[in-house]
Amino acid sequence: MKNKIVLVGCGNVGMAYSYALLNQKTYVDKLVLIDLDKEYTEGQAMDLNHCLSYSPSKIEVISGHYSDCKDAKIVVLAAGANQALGETRMDLINKNSFIFKSIVDEVMKSGFDGIFLVATNPLDVMTYLTLKYSKLPPNRIIGSGTTLDTSRLRYMISTKVNVSPEDIDAFVIGEHGDSEFVPWSTVSIGLSKIHNFLSYEDQKKIEDDVKNSAYEIIKKKGATCYGIGMCLVKITNAILEDKKIILPVSSYDKKNDVCISTPAIVCSQGVKEKIFIPLTLDEEAKLTKSINTIKDAIKSLD
Ligand code: NAD
């Protein structure tokens, strides 16, 4: 099997990812669904296979087992609790770290030797735990990180300045959570600095709206899923097609011993390298705060 993906956790996020995969041209040949309830994943596999007559890709979807991970290129982890109303991502740490130990152990027992792509929150902690539990090389452990927050940021700037999101060079970096931030000094549109387009007040409002998006969506519809589904497809395709594109994924930062999002090159090897970003002193302080937030959360697990 050339490009097999195994998805563990077929709830809102997992199924949004699966459906987004089927709606695009992708190199994925086979998608294996794993969840707690086998009958449920059988039903999901049937439903997804019934899209294939009209899908631009030919992906075989099956309900599977951990043994299917053996020859998988990517195992996507979207299992675990999601935020209830008023909960932060960090509030999920105890429940989801417990679940992840058994899942990653099962995946590794199969002989898996590919790339993990993590979506479960608290994202940076779960990415770090996947690295520690699996003992795979750090370049092969990728968290979706602030890819979703960055997509929200580019969309919101684009609607304000009326330029395509693709031409907005902007990233959210740091923790995928409350300490994330926008390094505005680095943001540009068509080589022109962002302050030529947006006032300080506009920037602040957009940054707050990005940070509060998940809380707002959860209040209105209970969970977020389509945005992250599309981000996971973007990362999957970057790996399978060896695209070498720059995405703010969560990856291992050896100096600080955390997984955190800064722009990095994503290719067939996983994360090739993190890009150096010239930050102002104020932005450096925000990044340090974000690193410490994740470190403290990991320490709290000991
Ligand atoms: P959900 O409750 O809809 O789905 C979770 C699924 O995990 C369920 O189907 C459940 O049965 C399954 N599961 C639980 N324990 C399992 C186990 N041991 N083995 C296999 N499957 C198991 O939740 P959701 O809305 O899909 O969210 C999933 C995770 O993704 C949450 O942690 C959520 O916070 C996170 N999330 C991340 C982002 C992001 O940007 N990274 C965005 C949205 C949601």
Q: Does the Cβ of 174 fall within 6 Å of ligand 1?
A: no
- Return the closest-CA partner of residue 167 out of 194, 145, 200: 194
| pTM of the shown model | 0.98
Q: Which atom of ligand 1 is nearest to the CA of 223?
A: 25
Strands 30-34 and 4-8: parallel
Counting atoms of ligand 1 from 1, which one is nearest the CA of 99?
Answer: 18
pLDDT of 142: 98
Q: Is the distance from the beta carbon of residue 235 to the nearest atom of ligand 1 less than 6 Å?
A: no
Residue 302: the pLDDT is 63
Q: What separation in Å is there between the alpha carbon of 71 and the centre of ligand 1?
A: 24
Over the chain (302 residues), what is each successive 10-residue block's mean pLDDT?
93 98 95 97 98 95 98 97 86 91 98 98 97 98 98 98 97 97 97 97 98 96 97 98 98 97 98 95 98 96 76
What's the 82 CA to ligand 1 centre distance in angstroms?
Answer: 6
| 188-189 β-sheet, strand order | 168-169, 188-189, 192-193
Q: Which atom of ligand 1 is nearest to the CA of 143?
A: 41
* pLDDT of 131: 98
- Whether 80 is in the pocket of ligand 1, judged by its Cβ within 6 Å, is yes
Is the distance from CB of 57 to CB of 21 less than 8 angstroms?
yes
pLDDT of residue 1: 63
Place of tokens 């479960």: 120
Cα torsion 34, 20, 117, 171: sign? negative
Is 176 designated active site?
yes
3 state SS for 79-104:
CCCCCCCCCCCHHHHHHHHHHHHHHH
The predicted pLDDT at position 2 comes to: 85
- According to the model, what pLDDT value does residue 88 have? 87
